[in-house]
Every structure is written in C-alpha cells, then in structure tokens.
Structure 1
Amino acid sequence: MATLPVLPLTDVVLLPGMVIPVTLDPTTQAAVDAARASGDKTLLAVPRIDGEYGPVGTIATIEKVGRLPDGEPAAVVRGLARARIGSGVPGPGAALWVEATRLDEPAPAGRARDLAREYRALMTSVLQQRGAWQVIDAMERMTDLSELADAAGYAPWLSLAQKTELLAAQDVTARLELLVGWVKDHLAEQEVTERITSDVREGLEKSQREFLLRQQLAAIRKELGEDEPDGSADYRSRVESADLPDKVREAALREVGKLERASDASPEAGWIRTWLDTVLEMPWSTRTEDNTDLTAARAVLDADHAGLADVKDRILEYLAVRNRRAERNLGVVGGRGSGAVLALAGPPGVGKTSLGESVARALGRNFVRVSLGGVRDE
C-alpha cells in the first residue's frame, strides 16, 4: 500500500502503458507539484465522471512538465499499474492524498489468447478503414496481452464510461471480452453509417447527372434548331408545386421527363400534355361532406326522372349501404368508402348522365363528366 496524491482526469482515462498529456489547472497542478516534491514523481491518476471518482485508478509517473504548442501548461504522465483507491489521508500541499493498493494482474488463462486473436483481427479492420497502418504495425508487435488490451485506451470511439470499465477490469480475459463486443458494435455502426452516406452520395450524383444531361439535351436541341418542347419546363414546376399525392407526383414527374425528351413532331408529346393537364386539374385535396338523407335523395330522383323505379331503388340501396358502413366506421375498400362502384349501362339518350347528376345533387357533391379515352357519344 502506498500514499499518493490524486490526479483527477475529467476528459480522459489513463490505462497502464499509456502516455498522455494533462493540462494543468489548480487541481491537477497541486497533484503534480505534490508528486514532484515527493521525489519519485509518482501519483494516482483517477477518472472523474459526473463529479465522482472511480473505484480504481492508475499509478503513474510524471515524464515531463512544460507547455503545449498553444502555450497552455501541461504535464506528460505515463501509466504504470492499476491500483484500488483506499481512504483519504493527510498530506503536504493542496493535493488530495489517498491510500492506494496496487492490483496484481493474474496470468492470462482460458480463452484469453483466442480473444486476443479475434480482437487483433477486428481492430485491424477498424484501423484499415482509418488508414492507420503504423498503429496496425505497433499492435502486431505487442506480445503482452495486457498491453494489447490496455492500448484500447487510445481509441477515440470508446466512451469515457467504457474506458473506465476497462480500467476497473483486473483480469485481461474480461477486458478482451469487453473489447471484442465493443469493436463488433462499432464496426456495425460504421457499416450502417457508410451505407447511409453511400445512399445520400448516390442520390446527389443522380440529381447532378440528370441536371447535366438536361443541360446537354437543351444545348443539342439548340444546335439542331429545335426549340424546347412547349411548356415542358413549366410542367415540371407546376407538378412540383402542385398539392398531389406522393405516388401521383412520382408518376407525373416520370411523364414530364418523357415530355422533355420527346420531339415536337412526336404525337406522344400531345398525349402526355393532355394527361398532365388532366392530372393537374383534378381536385386531389378537395373534399365534400355527403348528405346522408335517403328521403331527400328519393325526392331528388323522383323530381328529376319519371319511372325508372328499378334504377332508383338500386341507387337508394347503394346510398343506404354507404350510410350503414359510415355508421359502423368501416374502412375504405380499394380506396372507395362504399366498397362498390355504380355502372349505368345503356344506349345514348336513356338518362345515364342525368341520373349521375341527380345522385351528385342528392349527395351534395360536385358533378364532373369525363370522357374516357376522348370518346364521346356524338
């Protein structure tokens, strides 16, 4: 047991074998002065996390005292061995003195050498990613398993809590088990980070490539004396600024891309413009509340049409089913609240369209007539 001044470390953990600089403030300066005054320049470096000292510290010796390149005073200390912290004792100077019991490390046993081989392989992968070839060579030269494990104190990706846990583990096998698990977790995080970075980079490169290709296409059209397809740039801005569902916007932008590549003489350009105009005119975000009064709906149908009793009964059944489903809070089926679509079939002039108008008026909805494929009765 030895009586040593305490050197508190708040942003670093000193493990045996490590050499680190410690900036000097009033607390650390007192410990360094006390160690130098004792003659052997030995002190106890203890990690201090969240204002509390750990149970195990590192017996260290002062290598040099001077200034850092920025002029700040500092001391270079070398870790020698682990020590368990005992009770505080009075001592000279302003430093905190404690009784320290040196911890003798047991000889490696069991899985220690297998864990060391696995740890070397994992660390080689980490260091190769960083291009730290000199560190790989230094690690390969380490034959002492305890030295190999404690060298992890230099790893910037280990947290202070992890390094403190490493310091408290007296058995080298336990330290190597901890390190193997931590390195595996770190490699997994690195793989996920690299995948995300790669995806982002590919997305940016694709956008830049598309922009350059559009610029080149515009230059080629200009050299050939062809103008930009009418309104193609305007269609892109209109689609991007329109309040469209995501899948509709994606499909519309694909068609805009086809329009930008199409020639003015191509009939496809006209079809695409018509399709885009229809999509942009549709009220995607406009909704109306249905009128669920079946008696009023029957009155509207009777006022607008004489006869057609079977058709009116079927329409009222359809509206009744819609109302019942709404009362039971049943979800939509295929995007339709009622789960069904009414189809009125018959030759021109029998009242199909006017019946549709009557249904819309009974529900309180706006009525839109769309000729599919451009085919009209006349």
Structure 2
Amino acid sequence: MNKFEPVVFDKSILEEYNVPKEIPIMPLRNTVLFPQQIIPLYIGRVHSLRLLNDIMKENKIFVVVAQKDISIENPREEDLYQYGTLAKIVKVFTMPDKSRSVIVQGLERVEIHKITKMDPYYHGIVQRLQESEEDSIESVAIRERLKESFKDIVDMSDYLSKDNVTMMMNSVDDGNLADVVVSMLNISVEEKQHILEQFNINKRLAETAIILAQELEKAKIGEKIIADVKDNINKNQREYYLREQMKAIRKELGEDEDERIIDLKKKLEDAQLPEEAAKAADREIERLKRMSKQSPEYNVSLTYLELLTELPWSVSTADEIDLANATKILDEDHYGLDKIKLRILEYLAVRKLKLKNDPNSAVKGPILCFVGPPGTGKTSVAKSIAHAMDRNIHRMSLGVVRDEAEIRGHRRTYIGAMPGRIIQGIKKAGSNNPVFILDEIDKLGADYKGDPSSALLEVLDPEQNYSFSDHYLETPFDLSNVMFIATANWAETIPGPLRDRMELINFSGYTLPEKTHIAEKFLIPKQVEEHGLTKKDITFTENGVQTIIQNYTREAGVRSLEREIAHVARKVAKIKVETTRFRKKSITEKTVSKYLGRQKFYSDRAERMKRPGIAIGLAWTQVGGDILFIETTKMPGEGKLQLTGQLGDVMKESAQAAL
C-alpha cells in the first residue's frame, strides 16, 4: 500500500515543532516517508517495538528517519540522515511472532538537530521545516514536463500502472506532486532522501524532473535491449531447434556431449590459457565432440585436455626477496659456506632490483649449478633459496635419465604417451615460477633413444625457454619465470654446451671444526628427536663428536657422520627400552667404541714419520684429501725405475723426478 491523503491532524501540535523540541525517533531501513504519504511498516527491532508501545498508549506523534546503512542493527547518530518526517500511527497489527505491522502517515518535514538518547528507544531534538515557493513560468513548465515524463515512464515500465498516473494527477500542490512522483519510482533511498531534503518547492520540482529524465532514459534503453533480445531470439530459434535435433541424434548414437566435456570447457576458461594454447584446446574439444566414446582416441584426447586444465598457465607466487630474511634462513639451515651464501645473496639482490625496475618483466638470470662432493649441502641450499623467496619447489633427479623423451615428453601418437618430466614438475609445483632443482645433472646419460642433455639446452637457455616445446603438449609453455638450480658432484662430466649455460658454484668439503659444529647444531638434535629421545637421555661431548668424525667417517660431507650419530641414537634407544632404571648416556671419546664398535679408519702418520726412507705425498679428490706415505729402499742397479699398476701421468712423472 502506497497512497497520499490530506493530513487530518491538530495543527497546533504541529506548530509546537516550529522551534526545536525533543521527540521519539524511529530509524527505518530502506524506506523514506514523505508528508501525506501512507505506507505500512514492519516493526521487528526491540527499540522500535518499545517506541510503538509508548506511542499507542498516549497517541503521540514521532519522527521517522532513514538510516544510511541498512546492515546496522543499532545505528548511531552519524548513521542516520539529518532530515526526517513527522508521522502519526493510522493502524497497528500484531503478528504471530510478536512483531508489529503498523500503517503510518507522514505529516511534515523536520530537521534532526541532535540525538539525545538511544535507550529504551531513540529521542532527538527536531525542528519543523518551512517550505518556500516562487511562482514563475519556469516552475509551471517544469511541472507540466514532469507530468508528461511520468506518463511516458508508466507506459514503458512494468512496475507502474495507470492508477499511479491518477494518484499523481490528484496531487494537491507542486510540493506534493514531487513527493508523490518520487515515492512511486523504483530508485535508491539516497535519491528519495535527496528529494525529502528539498524544502524549496521549485528546487524540489527541478531535482525530481532530473531524476525522471534519467529514469526515462533507462526505460528507453531497457525497451531497446528487450527488442534486440526478441529479434535475436527469433533469429536463434531456428538454430536452437536444429541443434536440439542434432543433440537428439547424437544421443541416440551414444555420441552426445557428456558432462566431462562441459566440465573441461569450464576448467579451460578458468585456467586462462595463452592464445596459442587456447586455440589448441578448442581444436581438441571440437575433435573430442565428434569422437565416439568407444574410440581409443577418445581417452587420449580427454587426458590431454585434462593436462591443459591442470597446468599453472597463469598461476604464480609473488616473490618475497628480503636479503636480511634470506641471510637468516641460510644461516639457520647451513653452517659455513660463506662464499656460497654471499654469491646467492648477490643473485637475489640482482633479481630484486630487476623486479623493482620492471615488475612485469621476466627476470633473466644465470642458471646456478652447485658442484661439490656428496653431503656438502647442495640440494638443501637450493631448498633454502626457495624458502627465502617464498616460492614453490620441485626436485627432479637426473641420475637415471637416459631417454630424451624423459625431458621433452612422448608424442601423443604413441600408446601410453605422457608429458616430459619438466612439464610434469611444473604441474606438481602448482605455479609457473617455482624453484626447479635439477639434481645430479652430471649423471645424465645417453643411449640409442637420444641425448637428454641436448633436450636440456633449451630448458636452461633464458633466450629460448620462454617458449619451451614439449612433444606431448604440442604448444609452447613459458619457463622464463622458473628458477632452475642444478647440482652435480663433478663438473667435468657435464657436457660442454650444457655447462656453458650455467654458472658453476663450487662446494668444498667441510673441515673438522665445521663438521663438529654442524653435528652439534643440526645433526645431533635431529637424530635425537627422530629416535624418540630427549636431551635428558643422551649428550655428545665435543671430543666424542670429533672421535666419530676422525675414526668412523672418511668423507667431505656429513652424510656418513649423520648415519653414525643415528647408529649411536638407536643403541641408546634400545638400552632405554630394555632398562627399568635408565641413566643419561654421555658419548665421549672413550665411550664411542662401545656404541660404534671397532675403529674404521686409522692415522699412521706418527708411526710412519719415525722411520727413515719414507717420503710424504699429498693426494686430493673432490671427496676429500689425504697424506700418502711413499716408502723407498736403496739397492744396487742401473738406475732404471719400472712402474706398474694404474698410475696416472703425474704420479709417474713424480716418481721419475724423485729418482
């Protein structure tokens, strides 16, 4: 119900509000009440129900005002508009849920100066607004134009009728005309409130005319859209009918488009494929539609399309390059390796500056290759870099790769074809810019199936890998954002062209003090925890750790050292389980053999140095160095030396020089 009737009320009461006076206030959601307007209100909020009960007892008037945000349950003064409407109650209905439905009529416009209290319901100081009007030809023209515009809107609109035109024509004056027209329009609360706040009638008519002009334009556009849609429907009806017939025929043949194809289309749209990949996907979808589900090619195409949807074409992680944090992570994860850490920080600093200068460009940097003996921390340093940059990580071992198809994938013409391990790794990483570790790159082999190192040339070349082509994928994939890090034990066995594309960073073996520190800070706490022990169960002295290093391991890294520490931890764990009164075990120089058995390596330097006729030589390999003792003896002869065995040229030359 929305109608306007002349106000029947004691004018002396209204005149009391010509000066500011306190009165109850009811906030309304999504509703603006105009003077003379009669509308129903649903009252459900507690403070509004309290106000209604008091007004019904004393038959008083009150003020209704719209609130700015309808989601606020208990609005404050700043949440209410400054202008509202004096109102009286016409009729009250009690609902089954104890809420109230009330019919109210607006009386006069008022300005709210201040909210005085909010409990048990709202009160405020309000003042009645005096309307002003100037008779002019312009106002007459606006009034007539307003009426014509409203009639035009009624003709075009589906929510207005001729009864609304009658209501408008029955308006008692120009001010009431604007209120009636605006109240019937389907416009926002803000626009209706704007008209309520116009106490100059000429300006109210002008503002209403502007709103009507906007609504009339919207109605015309809406009619045009509806007409275009109807034309399009008529045009498409024939195509739709034919398509439905085709669907029915395909369904009878068992070739209708199933839910998997529909789901694939949606996933392909969400994947945001590049233009070339999107064209390839569309071609494959159309090909799939024409295939029988019983065809062997059907599952091949379906698997291919599923791969396209799962690849992270547009998914990337934001780089978090903080040198201080990177330094902290590297120091926490690794001891020593100062030169290597410095080179990595320099590398990250360059990437940060490039990204700062051009955030949208692909950062082309050198491909790092960590070269060093086993157990020196090459792979773990690469993982720390990924952690420092907040990137996803994928590790691919190249030690068993002998086939080029392992890198580039198999063509889909083969049975059991699948993408190469590069594309599979990108899929598993879940982003197009992970840290990709190529482990044991020096172990790559070649056979009659091809040379995988040649396939890696494109992968590791920043000038080419932006369009890496996988035989299975058959569409370029951008690898320029991937950070490749290779690891190797020997640089010499890496093919020359491949080595030329990488920057080699050497990892040397650890010294005795460094191994001792690594054991105490990293290895011992890790193995103690993994074997269910605590610091209260076992301790290692520094001498005990060094005894393990010197007498039970012979390596450049710390893998054997970790295994020996784990061996000790297992022994202690067994003793703890079998003993009712267990005492803390201390691993010292003297007690190491109790847990690890006989000494594995001996240093005979002191004994050999006491004997005459012994020369000292140095031997070096990438897994560590040692001292060689060369025994000599004097005997008669012709001064010739015969060398046997697999001695190198350097050893033979040294022996001849010594002679």
Give me the TM-score of the superposition, normalised by structure 1: 0.52
Structure 1 distance, partners of 2:56, 2:165, is 35
Structure 1 distance, partners of 2:93, 2:122, is 22
Q: What pairs with 1:229-378 in structure 2 (closer than 5 Å)?
A: none
* 2:81 aligned partner: 54
Structure 1 distance, partners of 2:200, 2:95, is 35
Structure 2 distance, partners of 1:35, 1:27, is 13
* 2:195 aligned partner: 166
Counterpart selection for 2:167 from 135, 138, 156: 138
Shift of residue 187, structure 1, vs aligned partner = 1.2
* 1:177 aligned partner: 206
Q: Which has the higher contact order (CA 8 A, sep 6+)?
A: 1
After superposition, the CA RMSD in angstroms is 3.0
* 1:355 aligned partner: none
Instruction: Check 1:139–1:71 CA distance in 2 against 1; reply closer, same or farther (3 A cut).
Output: farther
Shift of residue 196, structure 1, vs aligned partner = 1.7
Aligned residue pair count: 217
Shift of residue 71, structure 1, vs aligned partner = 8.3
Structure 2 distance, partners of 1:95, 1:212, is 63
* 1:5 aligned partner: 24
* 1:152 aligned partner: 181
Counterpart selection for 1:187 from 196, 201, 216: 216
What is the CA deviation profile of residues 301-343 of structure 1, one whole-angstrom value per residue up to 9, with x for unaligned ones?
Answer: xxxxxxxxxxxxxxxxxxxxxxxxxxxxxxxxxxxxxxxxxxx
Instruction: Check 1:192–1:71 CA distance in 2 against 1; reply closer, same or farther (3 A cut).
Output: farther
Instruction: Check 1:68–1:150 CA distance in 2 against 1; reply closer, same or farther (3 A cut).
Output: farther
* 1:121 aligned partner: 148
Structure 2 distance, partners of 1:23, 1:77, is 11
Asked if the contact 2:64–2:87 (Cα under 8 Å) also holds between the matched residues in 1, the reply is: yes
Counterpart selection for 1:95 from 121, 124, 142: 121
Structure 2 distance, partners of 1:138, 1:172, is 19
Shift of residue 84, structure 1, vs aligned partner = 0.9
Asked if the contact 2:33–2:85 (Cα under 8 Å) also holds between the matched residues in 1, the reply is: yes
Asked if the contact 2:114–2:124 (Cα under 8 Å) also holds between the matched residues in 1, the reply is: yes
Structure 2 distance, partners of 1:113, 1:74, is 40
Structure 1 distance, partners of 2:115, 2:230, is 57
What is the CA deviation profile of residues 245-293 of structure 1, one whole-angstrom value per residue up to 9, with x for unaligned ones?
Answer: xxxxxxxxxxxxxxxxxxxxxxxxxxxxxxxxxxxxxxxxxxxxxxxxx
Instruction: Check 1:188–1:135 CA distance in 2 against 1; reply closer, same or farther (3 A cut).
Output: same
Asked if the contact 2:66–2:84 (Cα under 8 Å) also holds between the matched residues in 1, the reply is: yes
Structure 1 distance, partners of 2:210, 2:55, is 37
Residue type at the aligned position of 2:121: A
Q: Tell whether 2:111 aligns with 1:84.
A: yes
Shift of residue 35, structure 1, vs aligned partner = 2.4
Q: Tell whether 2:53 aligns with 1:33.
A: yes
Instruction: Check 1:212–1:54 CA distance in 2 against 1; reply closer, same or farther (3 A cut).
Output: closer
Instruction: Check 1:151–1:203 CA distance in 2 against 1; reply closer, same or farther (3 A cut).
Output: same
Instruction: Check 1:28–1:213 CA distance in 2 against 1; reply closer, same or farther (3 A cut).
Output: same
Shift of residue 42, structure 1, vs aligned partner = 0.3
Asked if the contact 1:5–1:34 (Cα under 8 Å) also holds between the matched residues in 2, the reply is: no
Q: Tell whether 2:89 aligns with 1:66.
A: no
Shift of residue 114, structure 1, vs aligned partner = 1.9
Structure 2 distance, partners of 1:19, 1:152, is 14
Give me the TM-score of the superposition, normalised by structure 2: 0.31
* 2:233 aligned partner: 204
Counterpart selection for 1:45 from 64, 74, 77: 64
Structure 1 distance, partners of 2:163, 2:96, is 24
Stretches of structure 2 lacking an aligned partner (at least 5 in a row): 1-18, 70-74, 245-275, 277-659
Structure 1 distance, partners of 2:34, 2:82, is 14
* 1:298 aligned partner: none
Asked if the contact 1:15–1:153 (Cα under 8 Å) also holds between the matched residues in 2, the reply is: no
Instruction: Check 1:120–1:30 CA distance in 2 against 1; reply closer, same or farther (3 A cut).
Output: same
Structure 2 distance, partners of 1:127, 1:195, is 16
Which has a greater percent of helix? Answer: 1
Structure 2 distance, partners of 1:56, 1:89, is 16
Shift of residue 32, structure 1, vs aligned partner = 1.7
What is the CA deviation profile of residues 66-118 of structure 1, one whole-angstrom value per residue up to 9, with x for unaligned ones?
Answer: 14699852111110000111233469x71211121111111343332221111
Stretches of structure 1 lacking an aligned partner (at least 5 in a row): 216-242, 244-378
Structure 1 distance, partners of 2:202, 2:56, is 35
Counterpart selection for 2:34 from 15, 20, 34: 15
Structure 1 distance, partners of 2:166, 2:95, is 28
* SS of aligned partner of 2:110: strand
Residue type at the aligned position of 1:103: L
Report which of the two structures shows the higher radius of gyration computed on alpha carbons. 2
Shift of residue 164, structure 1, vs aligned partner = 0.9
* 2:296 aligned partner: none
